[in-house]
Structure 1
């Protein structure tokens, strides 16, 4: 075959560097954006922080009809701790054993950080580890060096909750041959006498029993010890009928013992662990202005950047400088940051416009919403809406929420309308919160009640939503 030349026309999508930068900045969270900008500031001498008095860019402010007023009245919003308001949390988590949820959902326990001294305990947890706290206590004891070393070995074997996960026999094998196992048992007794009470336990039952043993003796404590030592599984399963039969005590006595057990701390060492607190800076602030819910950019989240005028003037007089590319990069970055927040504000305002009932009445009024609805309204692609709503947060009078929190599937109603999954979960939470604790509502009963309100939800769907809310099943919610 002879070689020949052929012309062929074809189309292909090419992303310019500026477009690639725009997409990358849009999908970053506020924290990630700050980290990215720090890198640019170190590498590009033409870029600098703008320390002058700051206000949101005009392009972003004009995205909503009343946003000019919102921007003028908008205060700086400090970093907000990420709480359960970012998701549907608030109830205690259900543990595999079936009874840990008792302590996390009701009441408080010594050292839980939920009392008046919570702030002081947070500081202590952040500055003192459990090991340091225990070593400080045994340092005050007049113990022989041999006994002191054995207690230290047991302290080193504790987990973060203060439990001794290895058996004494296993630990004995790791020690020199001249150490007797009885010496370890004595060391364990010394360890279990330290604060916090319950430390050094080898099981939840032993941990609770140690705490009960430290309380003043009375009939309630005696009954609680009996339940903890031999019938904790019945209490976890709310089998009060068998407990009455086994203990021979009436409902009032069992109720008092149950309340005492719930006041204990099954994780005595947890208060000394490192506190993992995540912080977010809301990108958008929502407030009601003259009867209208309006979104505005949070000034604290908006980066204050500008082009260095001195270098820019020098470059304007010198052609062919090696810094020309960095000048163009700096201009692109400043422009794309403005575009990023403009897009975030437009999407946020569109969400607010569609979820006004949520801001007025809460989760029960959340309407179904999908990405395509916002994309069609703003003339953007669904992928752009997805990037905007991920890891971007909105500060509202009802809490701080990720933008994607306002999107959800829908369930058809008898009237031909639709109800959002978020609203259904809120209704389930309300119904369970108002139920008779002696006769809690089953999933089937919850399904029937919602059906009477025109919301058709299967029992399995109710169970799925209930589990998503960390609400235990009916048998674990029953009380005496």
Structure 2
């Protein structure tokens, strides 16, 4: 076995920290990017973040945008309304308006309010509540009745049936047939078995249909409006403007602060003698410059990818959802000359503001379906066709999935019945039997 030295020249991708940073910035959403830049500014004294000035006049007149530095920048979230009170606070406030209650009664009522679930229902058993509070069952029942008179109507019910009856009582509807449907035929109503209800109550089908419409207007979850859900606010990364019969893409710079080098530290670095301190600031300077370069690269990549998408979907912007073309990330990668993984990162968690509304960039990547003339049709366009058919159908004789399939075929769109059923369910439409009106 012989040992020898040999030189070779090979290409090898080295994932440096700077390259990882550039990849990370590309896939960040606007909100994540703002948080990251502020974190970098806190760690690096050479980084200054110049916020975009935002004024009421600018919001009311978007065509007169003027960018500049501001000593007191306005946060975009300042214009978002604060969340409403939660259900507990809302009901306790109403309890405070009730006069003549003893301390024990208020304690029981407050305990019951605190045990309502997020839908506004009381799942706690009366005997259990009485035992915990060491009061009589009658006192608990009386306080349940009291709380059930509060807004929103239907609150503190112990079943769906009781919830609906409380709402009917609140609006003054004491029709015995209406009450009977709620008491005995909710499952039939859910399955749209109108004929069965008609036969059971001995009333006409039209009257049952009117009762069903009235019940469906009630709220089965009166407490849901107060649920403490986390709010997500969307800031468009890209906007599309229609100028001179062309759709032009603009990267939205107001969604992120502008990164600049602090002039004081920049001067100090030039005048500082060689040593550990200068080495420290020199490294921070390189980090800041690389961050600025990465942000510019991110901006150019986003613009290139978004422009390619907009150019391909020109018919969608002109004519609507029925003309959305099936598109893949691979196709956009070939158009832009970027790698497919780069396109994937560029569209991830990014939103685009267009003349037709706000869309996630991923919205424009849809699968292709065959049409009769050989042209490909997007799955989004197919769903739009199905939605249009169901919205315009005769509600007294709604179309089955098979009938929708045959109608689509006449329009030149080849879909299987199973695919139509799948798209219908995704659009939140019920079966033809449950959509039928009498």
Residue 19 of structure 2: aligned partner: 19
Residue 402 of structure 2: aligned partner: 444
Match of 2:137 among 165, 172, 181: 181
| Mapped pair 1:479 → 2:437 | yes
Change (3 A) 1:418 1:80: farther
Change (3 A) 1:403 1:53: same
> Post-superposition shift, 1:473?
2.3
Match of 1:196 among 147, 152, 155: 152
Match of 1:470 among 422, 428, 436: 428
Match of 1:164 among 97, 122, 126: 122
Deviations for 1:94-116, whole angstroms, at most 9, x for unmatched residues? xxxxxxxxxxxxxxxxxxxxxxx
Residue 296 of structure 2: aligned partner: 338
> Post-superposition shift, 1:235?
1.1
The farther-off stretch of 428-437 and 138-147 is 138-147
> Post-superposition shift, 1:233?
1.0
Change (3 A) 1:160 1:52: closer
CA RMSD of aligned residues (A): 2.6
> Post-superposition shift, 1:255?
2.9
> Post-superposition shift, 1:195?
2.1
Change (3 A) 1:374 1:314: same
Deviations for 1:349-398, whole angstroms, at most 9, x for unmatched residues? 10000001111122111111001111011111000000001111100111
Residue 348 of structure 1: aligned partner: 306
Change (3 A) 1:259 1:76: farther
Residue 324 of structure 1: aligned partner: 282
Q: For structure 2, which runs of at least 5 residues remain unmatched after alignment? A: 55-61, 68-73
Residue 131 of structure 1: aligned partner: 88
Contact 1:79 1:280 in 2 (8 A): no
| Mapped pair 1:292 → 2:249 | no
**TM-score, structure 1 length as denominator?**
0.80
Match of 1:304 among 236, 248, 258: 258
Cα distance in 1 between the residues matched to 2:367 and 2:84: 44
Deviations for 1:37-90, whole angstroms, at most 9, x for unmatched residues? 001111111111235889xxxxxxxxxxxxxxxxx9684899999xxxxxxxxx
Partner of 1:211, secondary structure, is: helix
Deviations for 1:107-135, whole angstroms, at most 9, x for unmatched residues? xxxxxxxxxxxxxxx86xx3422222222
Cα distance in 2 between the residues matched to 1:160 and 1:168: 19
Cα distance in 2 between the residues matched to 1:30 and 1:335: 17
Runs of 4 or more consecutive aligned structure 1 residues displaced over 4 Å after TM superposition = 4-11, 51-54, 72-81
Residue 253 of structure 1: aligned partner: 207
Cα distance in 2 between the residues matched to 1:53 and 1:194: 46
Residue 225 of structure 2: aligned partner: 271
The farther-off stretch of 4-13 and 233-242 is 4-13
Match of 2:343 among 378, 385, 390: 385
Cα distance in 1 between the residues matched to 2:64 and 2:252: 8
Change (3 A) 1:441 1:80: farther
Cα distance in 2 between the residues matched to 1:461 and 1:338: 44
The farther-off stretch of 456-465 and 188-197 is 188-197
For residues 223-242 of structure 1, the aligned pairs below 5 Å read 223-242=177-196
Partner of 2:353, secondary structure, is: strand
**TM-score, structure 2 length as denominator?**
0.88
Cα distance in 2 between the residues matched to 1:42 and 1:281: 23
Residue 362 of structure 1: aligned partner: 320
Cα distance in 1 between the residues matched to 2:408 and 2:294: 47
Deviations for 1:166-187, whole angstroms, at most 9, x for unmatched residues? 22234344343xx333332222
Residue 29 of structure 1: aligned partner: 29
Match of 1:207 among 154, 163, 181: 163
Residue 237 of structure 2: aligned partner: 283
Partner of 1:259, secondary structure, is: helix
Cα distance in 1 between the residues matched to 2:296 and 2:309: 20
Contact 1:79 1:279 in 2 (8 A): no
Partner of 1:226, secondary structure, is: helix
Q: For structure 1, which runs of at least 5 residues remain unmatched after alignment? A: 55-71, 82-121
Q: Which has the higher contact order (CA 8 A, sep 6+)?
A: 1
